[in-house]
Amino acid sequence: MNSAISHERQPAARIRDAAELARIARLLRRDVINLVAPTGQGYVQQGLGAADLFAVLYFAEMRIDPTDPRWPDRDRFLLSTAHNTAIFYATLAARGLVDRNLVRDYCKDGSVFEVNASERVGTAIEATLGSLGQGLSVGIGMALAARRRKSDSRIYLVLGDGELQEGQLWEAALYAGSAGLSNLCLIIDYNSMQVEGHIDKVVSVEPVAEKFKAFGWASENIDGHDIPALLTALDQARGRDRPTCLVATTIAGKGVPSLEGILAHNLKLPADVAEEALVALADAKERT
């Protein structure tokens, strides 16, 4: 099994070709497997499920410059959920924002690439989050700051559907809608999975899109694996006078048939399963 993350790409910024973005997402899924495999257990299902979201955000949507990561007018990204750090780190490495060799130490003792993304990593991490429900509040502060600076910077936030059970998040959502924070875009990774099981068997949060609309947001349900639809939705968000919420339905384990749909928050990943996943994620040329 290849223990390193993929080296076969460093595409140009803001790719709009859906097929190329799908290829990048597939490679990111392979990177997730390679990052988690050494420990034999981790946030595999969430990373595989969210790969299309991260590929679109970092390679098509966000204005960032890897040569100048602190460019004042860059777009900001916040990850509110620890369970997406494997895909987050893989994406940062692929985009040239962190050293891919250091990312291999994911979750090892002493590594800055911890299970919760923190500013110890460096400039690629805009804020240390992890206490569920707080990410939106931080994003609102950044959106307000950008507006006061008259900056074109946009703030993007990915959070998990289970976080919608946190009261602080709804207080923040109410304020963002009231303030008309048009530079704020929230993407909910709606995989229906949380630690205790299926979200509906813990605390049902539906109807999510309608709730955000009632709080003054532009909100819609979207297939989190439909790359053209994601591109269109993000384009439309730029022209609004209010914050946007995309409720992106994703499939846990997406891309690996034997793992798809398995709601395992912290999946066991023995070597043979990891190898099978890498084969499933190989392209046609690699299989022959």
Distances (CA, A) of 105 to 39, 61, 112, 175, 207: 10, 28, 8, 39, 40
Percentage of the chain exceeding pLDDT 90: 62
Question: Is 11's pLDDT higher than 70?
Answer: no
Question: Is 40's pLDDT higher than 90?
Answer: no
Evaluated on CA atoms 231, 227, 58, 129, the torsion sign reads positive
d(CA 171, CA 243): 14
Instruction: Tell how strand 197-198 and strand 218-223 pair up.
Output: unpaired
231 contacts 225 by C-beta, under 8 angstroms: no
Residue 197: pLDDT band by 50, 70, 90 thresholds? low
Residue 250: pLDDT band by 50, 70, 90 thresholds? very high
Average model confidence (pLDDT) for the chain? 89
Query: Residue range 218-242: average pLDDT?
Result: 97
What pLDDT does 286 receive? 54
Instruction: Tell how strand 155-160 and strand 184-190 pair up.
Output: parallel
Structure token pair of residue 155: 């703030």
69 contacts 124 by C-beta, under 8 angstroms: yes
Query: Residue range 226-243: average pLDDT?
Result: 96
Question: Is 184's pLDDT higher than 80?
Answer: yes
Query: Residue range 54-76: average pLDDT?
Result: 93
Q: Each residue of 256-279: pLDDT tens digit? A: 999 998 887 777 888 988 899 999
Question: Is 130's pLDDT higher than 90?
Answer: no
d(CA 280, CA 25): 14
Percentage of the chain exceeding pLDDT 70: 92
Question: Is 213's pLDDT higher than 60?
Answer: yes
What pLDDT does 116 receive? 82
Question: Is 39's pLDDT higher than 50?
Answer: yes
In terms of average pLDDT, the best of 6-20, 82-96, 210-224, 259-273 is 210-224
Which stretch of DSSP H or E encloses residue 247? strand 244-249
